[in-house]
Amino acid sequence: MTVASAIFYFFAAILIFFSIKVVTTKNLFHSVMSAFAVLLGTAGLFFLFNAEFLGIVQILIYAGAVTILVLFVVMLTTAGPKYRIVWETPLNIWIFVFVILFGGMLGMIVLSIQWPVAKPVALHGVTEALATRLFVEYLLPFEVASILLLAALIGSIVLARRD
């Protein structure tokens, strides 16, 4: 087993563990923090696959901004950090049967595919070209989107504020 394979399996185990924790934990705050770990693990996979730009975007936008936005919603609403998720119906045996069958089917599909092995390529200039297009050619739409997101954040704070 190579070092890259060991790192991939490490990130895969982290992603699986925290993904299950997102949907099974009863504390909403812990669920958001587990989602944060999933997003960071995904960024780690992007870095492993030589997609540095996607990894940085994953960390900045999803792990950073989206997680903070969700935490603002959780903290500023009436639910607060003590909100607990309660299951409406008890777990049924058919849920476990479906999960095992679906997981087995998915595993068979993944193992039966002949996955191509990526070869490292020189990406010199690709990130610079993307940055030039984003921050020079499309600067106005980028700034309009950021102002719109800022207005939405301020509006949510005003609506959630207790008077």
**pLDDT value at 42 more than 80:** yes
Residue 127: the pLDDT is 74
d(CA 78, CA 127): 43
pLDDT at position 80, please? 55
User: Looking at 14-18, 88-92, 122-126, 149-153, which range is the least confident one?
Assistant: 122-126
This model's pTM is above 0.85: no
Distance CA 96, CA 114 (A): 29
- In tens, the pLDDT along 101-150 reads 988 998 888 888 887 776 666 666 777 777 788 778 888 888 888 888 88
Q: What are phi and psi of 2, to 5 degrees?
A: -80, 170
What phi and psi, each to the nearest 5 degrees, are found at residue 27?
-90, 125
Distance, CA of 160 to CA of 79 (rounded, Å):
11
Per-residue exposure over 122-137, b if at least 16 CB sit within 10 Å of its own CB, e if not: eeeeeeeeeeeeeeee
Q: What average pLDDT does the segment 80-98 reach?
A: 71
| CA–CA dist 82, 150 (Å, integer) | 27
pLDDT tens profile 18-38: 999 998 887 888 888 999 999
Q: 37-46, 59-68, 71-80: lowest mean pLDDT where?
A: 71-80
